[in-house]
Structure 1
Amino acid sequence: MSNSLNIISANNLRSGLNVYFTQNEGQNNGEARWENDSSLASVYSEDQLAAAFERAKQDMEKNIVVDCVTVPVDDNHNPITVREKIRAAGPSVKYGK
């Protein structure tokens, strides 16, 4: 049985940009933040993922982020799927200011 690794991604409600869930080590229900850089995302094993995802969903309920999803990553913490690789690279078209 593999011990798959995951990060949690969402979209910032104000900016629409991709953001990644980050917690300090050992903080399953404590302070958390959303970062634009996927390399700063906290990485969760299968047994840690459910608790972290529940904490991330609290920010959806507060209208901070929308569309929380779990993202499988490789051993170097890079997204595995093509969709998430594109999202992690940032917008392909710059917009805004």
Structure 2
Amino acid sequence: MENLVFTQLSIPEVRQLFRQELEQFFKALPCAPPKSAINAENLSTRQKTAKKLNISLPTLDDYTRRGIIRGYRVGRRVLYRPEDVEAALTEINTVKYQRA
């Protein structure tokens, strides 16, 4: 635990100390890439994504609203990343012809 020392400081000195602490705090934070760093060249349109999954556009809209497939809005368009489409696909284990 740090020792506390009470002294009289002027307002400019308090501001300077506060500014230094904030600068140190923000320098220590990891830099995250901006959200706009998504490569727009790899994104697929709704039509291409629905055709790839062999589903209709209303079904794709429903999946997007329910959070099954993540979509990205660019203006009025909704685009999909291939990684998100692949992540939405899950394997189903069938038990057809299983004997007891």
TM-score (norm 2): 0.23
Question: Which structure would you say has the larger RCO, counting Cα contacts within 8 Å and 6 or more residues apart?
Answer: 1
Q: Which structure has greater helix proportion?
A: 2
**Rg larger for:** 2
Q: Which structure has greater strand proportion?
A: 1
